Amino acid sequence: MAGTVITFYSYKGGVGRSFTMASIAVLLARWGYRVLTIDWDLEAPGLHHYFAPVMSETPEGGVIDLAHDFLAGAKRPTPHVLKVGVEGNGSLALLAAGKMDRSYMGRMQSIDWESLYAQGFATFLETCREIWTADHDFVLIDSRTGISDIASICTAHLPDRLVVVFTANDQNLDEVVDIARRADDARDRMPYDRPRHTVLPVLSRLDNRVEYERADMWQRKCAAVVAPLFENWLVKSVPEDLMLRHLTVPYVSYWSFGEQLPVLDELVPSPDQISYALETIAAVIAQGFDRTDVLEDNRDAYVAAARNHHRDFDLDLLVSSPRTLLKATETLIAELNALGLRAERSVSGDPEILEQAGEPAKHLCLLVDGRASRWQITEAERFLRHAIGPEGDQRQLFCVLSKNSERDQLPGFLRNLRHLELGSQPELVARQLHALTQGVPEHEPNHEALATAAAALRGLPDEMPYAGRFALVQETVHGMTTALDGGDVELLLDHSADLALISKAHGNGAQSVMPPELRAAVDDLLARIDRRLNAFTD
Provide the CATH number for the domain around residue 19. Answer: 3.40.50.300
Q: Residue 473: how many CB atoms within 10 A of its CB?
A: 22
Asked if 399 contacts 309 with a C-beta cutoff of 8 angstroms, the reply is: no
Determine the structural domain holding residue 472 and report its residue range.
445-536
Number of domains the chain contains: 3
Asked if 45 contacts 98 with a C-beta cutoff of 8 angstroms, the reply is: yes
Residue 263: its pLDDT value, please?
92
Q: Is residue 522 located within the same domain as residue 492?
A: yes
Q: Is residue 532 located within the same domain as residue 399?
A: no
Q: Is residue 345 located within the same domain as residue 450?
A: no
Residue 389: its pLDDT value, please?
46
Given 308, 331, 366, which residue is the final one in a domain? 308
Q: Residue 498: how many CB atoms within 10 A of its CB?
A: 17
Q: Is residue 172 located within the same domain as residue 34?
A: yes
Burial 143-162 (b: 16+ CB within 10 A, else e): bbbeeeebbbbbbbbbbbbb
Q: Indicate the DSSP class of residue 509.
A: S
CA dist., res. 117 & res. 304, Å (int): 43
Question: Per-residue DSSP letters for 114-158?
Answer: HHHHHTTHHHHHHHHHHHHHHH-SEEEEEEPSSSSHHHHIIIIIS
Q: Is residue 467 located within the same domain as residue 367?
A: no
Q: Is residue 415 located within the same domain as residue 449?
A: no
For each successive 10 residues of the chain (538 residues), what is the average pLDDT?
A: 87 87 95 94 89 86 89 85 87 92 89 88 90 94 72 78 90 80 73 74 84 85 92 90 93 84 89 93 93 87 80 84 91 90 78 56 90 87 66 72 86 82 84 79 63 89 84 90 77 89 70 89 87 59
Residue 537: its pLDDT value, please?
45
- What distance lies between CA 131 and its chain's CA centroid? 26
Residue 155: its pLDDT value, please?
77
CATH of the domain at 422: 3.40.50.10140
pLDDT tens-digit series, residues 47-80: 999 998 888 888 888 899 998 889 888 888 878 8
CA dist., res. 166 & res. 176, Å (int): 7
* DSSP helix, strand, coil percent of the chain (3-state; round to 5): 50, 15, 35
Residue 149: its pLDDT value, please?
53
pLDDT tens-digit series, residues 9-33: 988 878 889 999 999 999 999 999 9
Residue 58: its pLDDT value, please?
86
Residue 443: its pLDDT value, please?
45
Residue 366: its pLDDT value, please?
92
Side chain identity, residue 243: M
Q: Indicate the DSSP class of residue 55.
A: B
Q: Is residue 247 located within the same domain as residue 281?
A: yes
Q: Is residue 452 located within the same domain as residue 417?
A: no
Residue 392: its pLDDT value, please?
41
- What distance lies between CA 153 and its chain's CA centroid? 33
Q: Is residue 348 located within the same domain as residue 452?
A: no
Asked if 338 contacts 384 with a C-beta cutoff of 8 angstroms, the reply is: no
Between helix 516-537 and helix 468-486 the angle, nearest 10°, is 30
Q: Is residue 96 located within the same domain as residue 212?
A: yes
Given 271, 286, 308, which residue is the final one in a domain? 308
Asked if 362 contacts 312 with a C-beta cutoff of 8 angstroms, the reply is: no
Given 438, 456, 477, which residue is the final one in a domain? 438
> 523: left (phi > 0), else alpha (psi -120 to 50), else beta?
alpha
Measured CA to CA in angstroms, residue 519 lies from 24, 276, 324, 450, 465 at distances of 67, 64, 30, 19, 16
Q: Is residue 260 located within the same domain as residue 276?
A: yes
Q: Is residue 116 located within the same domain as residue 265?
A: yes
